[in-house]
Structure 1
Amino acid sequence: MKKILATLALVAFFLYACQKTDVQHIDHVTAADLSDAKDLSAMIQPMSNDYASIPQDPQNPLNADKVELGKLLFHETRLGLNPKQTEGLHTYSCASCHHAEAGFQSGLTQAISEGGSGFGIAGELRIPSAIYQTENIDVQPIRAPSLLGSAYQDIMLWNGELGGVGLNIGTENLWTSDGNSNNFTGLYGLEILGLASRQKHRLNPDTAWLASNETYKNLFDLAFPELPDTERINSRTVSLALAAYQRTLLANQSPFQRYLRGDLKAMTKAEKDGKSLFFGKAKCSNCHNGPALNSMQFVALGMNDMQNGVNGAFNVAPDNRESKGRGGFTGKARDIYKFKVPQLYNLRDVTALGHGGSFSSVEEVIRYKNAGIPQNANVPLSQLSKMFQPLGLTEDEIGKLVKFVRDALYDPNLVRYEPASLPSGNCFPNNDEQSRIDRGCQ
């Protein structure tokens, strides 16, 4: 009898221990988590090879070979063919200003393409080259936006001027620049971006060289089998391949995305609380929504423009059209100082945020929006978004919201979108001497 009692006691002990372990295992997963994950299912990003689920231009259907071709072309410094100084030949690429290490933006207040020197670890050490005349360096008067989630934008740039669709229908009389005149093709903004880069960023597809390179020639044949052989390598197909690749740039390994797909332990308790604030009290989702947490809205939040001498910026012309936001394109008073709502993934490693790079961290932006006091005295109060009001968040709530945006939206493995090497053998994203040293290319 004693043996039976002892055995029963032992079984009871193990049952209790297992139950206790199970309780500990589920940790902070609650019934609310299950409901939230279901309710927010519209925020789920597809896998990057699930082409049927990725938004795309009807004129540019995705396929694996086109995406692979675009990946190589995006990083190919051999396409840096139109430099202002001969020293810049073949030293820059699309990725010079939009690289994986900084969440497909530059990581700097002002991105530097041709005329830059160095890279560092995540682009933080790129500086103007000492052998360049300042006026010849390729910089823009506005921060380079991230390309993550760009599949969820039908028009591109902070002012939305690229793209012959969506909100740009009815603006045809404004399609007069070297870049936005491509809108007449009826392509989406992302597909036009590569065409515009010829004028705006001194890139040019060397079609003769691409045709002579076996790797590129084979990929163009596979990517565009519907075209005659003689029409497969040109500026348009290069731009379409670039866009195809950029549409696959999704932060779908971030904790928030894993949580939405059913891994309810992917986020910490504080990050989950921050999520509730994001979609609730803080009202962030009024503007930042959908799979990329962006939108096609243009809003004025009174943030400072880029200024010469601030955070290393230079060559910023006074009264430049880029600093006028949507109004710089449309010319309409109601659009002045209104900028397109950006995506929010992978901002942790970025030290310049806002269209003018006037914020150095996610926390600074959240505190700015919580206070509801504009930075830029040039923006009339009448232009400010009605949503730009004090939020009344406590310090604890600010901390939790920061954790959600900074950490739960951070995909730690964006380097999966980089090629192992280039068919040219060149270094990327830059091929200047210091960048080659920094990247271990020599």
Structure 2
Amino acid sequence: MHRQPKYVVALAFAIGLLFAACTSEQAADTLDVTLERQIARVAPTGSLEDFRVPHHEDLANIPAGIGNPLTPEKVELGKMLFYETALGRDAVHESGMMTFSCASCHVPSAGFMPGAIQGIADGAQGFGFNGESRQMRPDYSEDQIDAQGARPLSMIGTAYVTNSMWAGRFGARFNNEGTEHLWGVFDHATAINHTGLDGLEAQNIEGTIVHRMRVDDYILDTLGYRALFDRAFYDWPENARYGREAMSFALSAYIRTIMPYEAPFQRWLRGETDAMTKQQKLGALVFFGDGGCYRCHNSPALNGNTFHAIGVNDLCDVGGLATGLNDERNLGRGGFTRRQEDMFAFKVPQLYNLKDSPFYFHGSSHYDLRDVVAYFNAGIPENPRVPPENISRFFHPLNLTEQQMEDLTEFLKHGLYDPNLERFVPESVLSGNCFPNNDPISRAQLGCD
């Protein structure tokens, strides 16, 4: 019997191991290749780049508002102002003075959303662990609190929002071209659109008024913010350098940098194939495939600049304060445009870090992401006040399997989760106040006392 030399046997064994390893690697790569191809197939320009967000310090590649180029100095000032409770100097009652900030309703640990069903700035107290314990103060009446009639949108990925708010009321360009005759008519705040500014910058000018905040000599000189304004707006005339427009531009610059860069899906898009689990990749396939989610959530931050009626309940249906059945904000885009076809249609929100604040849709009507997926899969409106003819053509039964829904939920919950949003939070603000809230109850709960 002829025997093979030992080196031939060893070589054959090595080749076998290499083949097995390659086969295993190819099997693992198949899902990544399939997902890459599927995303490219539905991407607006046919590239994975369409869904990648820049690093928050890569200012040159972050969309800026018209007339508001991004600079490190503006971003740093805006970062301080966003959390500065001392700005709350126009509170209704003395007890509310300097107790709230932008972050009262956009809590970083809650995905830059409220930790409760509704955002309340002036007129509320308490924080809890994640903002879930914020409630109306006993010395305020319901008509005195600064409460939003629809759930505040997340600040994540706002740089990709062309017209801000659920109804897209703010901003002179994009969706609001052709609505000039409405600016300042039914909603006086929208007169700011005549300045030609984009959504975020326009909204924040009006927002600082609505939310009872201002910059004055106390803020500038006693607390020391004048130097920060001088650095950020050195080329502005002195009589404009410290006003609401400068305040808005700084806030907007900071907000535009809030990017979910460290989320597993973003890392996977940059080539880290192990950043997502197999189930998250399968869920992404559903998102960009059978689920059709990409049809509306099509920006790098997975928000969208279109408006859709999907028939969910309103904030008044779940116990929201300072709102009701006749609240114009329940009408969505139609409340701004007055067009029948826009009634009950709301802007497509971003999808990162949703699991941090378990309240979903403009009316906080659902409390679980799996339930949200099931609602879209069923395609049956829950709000009887929304006429069938207004329901979006994209809202219909999806016929996903139970496993597809589980996979999609996992992708939304963990594949789109940036674990380090605290990088957008300053260590302290110049006032030394507690933030995001500075009322006695919040200070105790936040460990500031």
Q: Deviations over 1:209-236 (max 9, x none)?
A: 2331575222212211211344321111
Residues 279, 209 of structure 1: alpha-carbon distance in 2 compared, 3 angstrom cutoff: same
Quote the Cα distance in structure 2 between the aligned partners of 1:28 and 1:120: 44
Render the CA deviation track for 1:290-345: whole Å, top value 9, x for unaligned: 2011111111101111126x2x4222133111000111111111111111111111
Decide which of 302, 310, 317 is 1:301's aligned counterpart: 310
Match of 2:410 among 395, 403, 416: 403
**How far off is 1:40 after superposition?**
2.3
Distance 1:33 1:313, change over 3 A: closer
Match of 1:193 among 196, 203, 206: 203
Match of 2:122 among 114, 135, 139: 114
Bigger drift between 30-39 and 340-349 goes to: 30-39
2:28 is matched with: 28
**Are 2:260 and 1:260 equivalent residues in the alignment?**
no
**Aligned residue in 2 for 1:337:** 344
Amino acid in the other structure paired with 1:190:
L
Q: Does 1:246 align with 2:255?
A: yes
* 2:371 maps to 1:369: no
Correspondences of 1:15-414 after superposition (within 5 Å): 28-30=28-30, 31-32=33-34, 35=37, 39-176=47-184, 177-206=187-216, 208-213=217-222, 215-307=224-316, 310=318, 312-414=319-421
- The alpha-carbon deviation at position 160 of structure 1 amounts to 0.6
Change over 3 Å in CA distance of 1:7–1:293 after alignment to 2: same
Instruction: State the shift of 1:132 in Å.
Output: 2.7
1: CA distance between counterparts of 2:143 and 2:39? 51
1:254 touches 1:411 (CA, 8 Å); kept in 2?
yes
Contact 2:312 2:383 in 1 (8 A): yes
How many residue pairs align between the two structures?
Answer: 435
**Farther-moved stretch of structure 1 (37-46 vs 229-238):** 37-46
The residue identity in structure 2 corresponding to 1:261 is R
Please give the alpha-carbon distance, in whole angstroms, between the structure 1 residues aligned to 2:87 and 2:192: 20
SS of the aligned residue for 2:316 comes to coil
Give, in angstroms, the shift of residue 138 of structure 1.
Answer: 1.6
For the Cα contact (< 8 Å) 2:359–2:368, is it kept in 1?
yes
CA deviation profile, 1:71-125 (whole Å, cap 9, x unmatched): 0001111110111111000001111101211111113211111121111221112
Deviates more, 1:412-421 or 1:316-325: 316-325
User: With structure 2 as the length reference, what TM-score do the two structures score?
Assistant: 0.91
Q: Distance in 1 between matches of 2:113 and 2:38?
A: 30
Distance in 2 (alpha carbons) for counterparts of 1:209 and 1:297: 42
Distance in 2 between the 1:9 and 1:428 partners? 70
Q: What does 1:396-435 align with in structure 2 at a 5 Å threshold?
A: 396-435=403-442
Q: Match for 1:387: what amino acid? A: F
Instruction: Give the secondary-structure state (helix, strand or coil) at the position aligned to 1:231.
Output: coil
TM-score (norm 1): 0.92
Match of 2:44 in 1: none
Moved more, 273-282 or 220-229: 220-229
Partners of 1:28 and 1:123 in 2: CA distance: 41
Cα–Cα, structure 1 residues 23 and 245, in superposed 2: closer, same or farther, change >3 Å? farther
Amino acid at match of 2:104: S
Alpha carbons of structure 1 residues 381 and 33: separation in structure 2 relative to 1, 3 Å = closer
Change in Cα spacing, 1:200 to 1:23, as seen in structure 2 (3 Å) is farther
Amino acid at match of 1:99: V
Preserved contact between residue 37 and residue 262 of structure 1 (Cα < 8 Å): no
TM superposition shift of 1:438 = 1.4
Residue type of the alignment partner of 1:124: E
Q: Deviations for 1:365-412, whole angstroms, at most 9, x for unmatched residues?
A: 110110011001011101111111100001001000111111101101
Distance 2:264 2:190 in 1: 37
**Residues 116 and 133, structure 2, Cα contact 8 Å, conserved in 1:** no
> Could you say what secondary structure the match of 2:275 adopts?
coil
Amino acid at match of 2:284: K
Closer, same or farther: CA 135–262 of 1 in aligned 2, 3 Å: same
Percent identity, aligned pairs only, is 41
Q: Equivalents in 2 of 1:331, 1:250: separation in Å?
A: 33
- When the two chains are superposed, the root-mean-square deviation of aligned CA atoms in Å is 2.3
Change (3 A) 1:119 1:16: farther
CA contact (8 A) 1:178 1:199 kept: no
SS in 2 for 1:190: helix
Is the 8 Å Cα contact of residues 328 and 336 (structure 1) preserved in structure 2?
yes
Which residues of structure 2 form unaligned runs of 5+? 41-46
Distance 1:333 1:131 in 2: 41
Mapped partners of 1:127, 1:210: distance in 2: 27
Which amino acid in 1 is paired with 2:220? A
- Partners of 2:192 and 2:413 lie apart in 1 by 36
